[in-house]
Structure 1
Amino acid sequence: MKDYVIITESTADLSQDMVNDLGIKVMPMAFELNGRSYFHYPDTREMDIHEFYQRLKKGEKSVTSLINTEAFIEFFEPVLEAGNDILYIAFSSGLSGTYNSSLLAKEELLEKYKDSKIICIDSKAASAGEGLLVYSAVKKKEEGLNLLELSSWLDQNILKLCHWFTVDDLNHLKRGGRVSALSAGIGTALNVKPILHVDNEGHLIPMEKVRGRKKSLYALLDHMIDTCSPVKDQVVFIGHGDTLEDAEFLAQLIREKFEVKDIIINPIGPVIGTHSGPGTIALFFFGTER
């Protein structure tokens, strides 16, 4: 049986060191900042993440775009030419058209590489939630799962991957159409922090509001307490929008409550950060349900 390569995009918010350790391939995704185009790579070669958030704080505007079919073909084809199959774990189809582009590329490539397999998985996840799914997939591959077995495992576990997050500034969600302009204005004035999650279709859903930053971090912990399973020996991911201190505070709360195997903290990159903004804290773990 052929070996297979696990591929994802930079929206998984994995560091370059993690990418190297996991042995995966990561497609860069594009964003524009004040009209200039950049690609976000795990090594942040084109834009430092801290610089990106500082520029957002100064009022610069960022927009994002999906990966098109041609880019997928260009990225996938060398892997197939080398004799490998592909397991591609995609950014949520509920938040981007990237997954659909990958399906078109798959169809075209398999006409040429008839003996190859390409499996495209809709993670229904975002940011380090997608990253945690990729990380878990690599660990399952290391346990000996073949391509079809791992694809089946992913299908069975995607909807157990929990996303809970809070943002510091509602105006970034307003621009993305997630909250109304009135709610954003009132929320910012009253220091109201929304708690959001990603549902079973991979859509972003506001769930509740709390007042104050510290309460929002405790609210994330409360949701983990409610749904985390198994409660021991999990690897938990935390993403942050250039607010490492808050991420470390949340990590300490988790360690005090759970016997986790590890907590991995990574910054949220520019593609996700365009929509979530500076100060975002996101918590990802496996649970009984989303």
Structure 2
Amino acid sequence: MHPYAIVTEASCDLSPERFASLQVLVVPVPLSINGKQYKGVSLEQFYTQLRAKAVIKTATPSPEDFIHVAKPALQKGQDVLYAGLSTTLSGTFQSGRIAMEELKQRYPERQIISIDTLCGAMGQALLVEMAAKARADGKSLQETADLIEANKTRVSHYFTLDQLEYLSRSGRLPSFQARLGDILNIKPILKLDALGHFQISTKVRTYNKAINRLYEKVIEKAVELKNQVVYISHADVRAAAEGLADKIRLAGAREVVVTMLGPAIASHFGIGGIGVAFLSNTR
């Protein structure tokens, strides 16, 4: 048994099998699909509903959801490192922090550290994998927490999407701009800034050019690509994601991990969304 548990949310884009192999504890993200509430919906079910144009809304896990996941580790004598979704993307981290403070009161003999990763999706996955590796290498809870704090603002995230209507649905883009952008085949390149906010980095014409721009960002900003694991997440467009991954591998990346975007991001991006995350000097 590890001396400490690592806790994160399902917004971290790793598969259930990968979470299990890393021995990372996962808090499910509640979903509403056409008004019906769910927890722990499979990605296959989610994307079937997304393609069917279902009305999908994500919700914030409750503090009790976090307590339910973390408490058994504390009961077994483990400490806890909670690496949460950026506060600027969701209220999830606030809920998780409330839970961790409650658990500190219940288990004062245990050490519990909460980190706002300022990341999401594949960027959050990068940091969680980093934490799991540090733990496997024998680093203490505090050493691992310090490592994540030191690297979280070095994680660059870039995204593009194929259908602007989803940004309009979520209130992130006026509907007339979304319609015009789709007519003109304009694809935004979005990034997360140093505080974890979405920003438009640039805009290009056509989806293929947008994906190529993601590749260019990796080449331009990644530090020592040959030593890096680059993370790609996609919204049910595996062929496009694998094509991007192949180019990054040919450019010399040590490893490229391809996963599917979870509901927390994909419900706002729609089918065709793709994101890439990697370590850079600054975002």
Q: Is the 8 A contact 1:30 1:271 kept in 2?
A: no
1:97 Cα offset (Å): 0.8
Q: Is the 8 A contact 2:161 2:270 kept in 1?
A: yes
| Partner residue, 2:116 | 122
Q: Is the 8 A contact 2:130 2:148 kept in 1?
A: no
Aligned length: 282
| Partner residue, 2:11 | 11
Q: Which letter does structure 2 place at the counterpart of 1:238?
A: I
The structure 2 residue matched to 1:111, chosen from 102, 105, 110, is: 105
The structure 2 residue matched to 1:262, chosen from 255, 262, 283, is: 255
Q: Which letter does structure 2 place at the counterpart of 1:285?
A: F
The structure 2 residue matched to 1:149, chosen from 143, 152, 155, is: 143
Q: Is the 8 A contact 1:161 1:286 kept in 2?
A: yes
CA distance in 2, matches of 1:139, 1:77: 23
Structure 1 unaligned spans of 5+: 41-45
The structure 1 residue matched to 2:265, chosen from 268, 272, 289, is: 272
1:116 Cα offset (Å): 0.6
Moved more, 6-15 or 168-177: 168-177
| Partner residue, 1:24 | 24
Query: Are 2:153 and 1:159 equivalent residues in the alignment?
Result: yes
Moved more, 103-112 or 217-226: 103-112
* TM-score (norm: length of structure 2): 0.96
Q: Is the 8 A contact 1:240 1:247 kept in 2?
A: yes
Moved more, 241-250 or 180-189: 180-189
Q: Is the 8 A contact 2:163 2:182 kept in 1?
A: yes
Query: Aligned runs of 1:169-184 on 2, under 5 Å?
Result: 169-184=163-178
Q: Is the 8 A contact 1:5 1:24 kept in 2?
A: yes
Query: Are 2:92 and 1:98 equivalent residues in the alignment?
Result: yes
Q: Secondary structure of 1:119's match?
A: strand
CA distance in 2, matches of 1:187, 1:138: 41
1:270 Cα offset (Å): 2.1
1:52 Cα offset (Å): 2.4
Structure 2 unaligned spans of 5+: none
Q: Is the 8 A contact 2:25 2:69 kept in 1?
A: no
The structure 2 residue matched to 1:281, chosen from 274, 277, 282, is: 274
Moved more, 101-110 or 84-93: 101-110
1:130 Cα offset (Å): 0.6
Query: Aligned runs of 1:131-146 on 2, under 5 Å?
Result: 131-146=125-140
When the two chains are superposed, the root-mean-square deviation of aligned CA atoms in Å is 1.3
CA distance in 2, matches of 1:173, 1:146: 41
Query: Aligned runs of 1:55-70 on 2, under 5 Å?
Result: 55-70=49-64
CA distance in 2, matches of 1:274, 1:90: 19
1:64 Cα offset (Å): 0.7
Q: Is the 8 A contact 1:53 1:277 kept in 2?
A: no
1:177 Cα offset (Å): 2.4
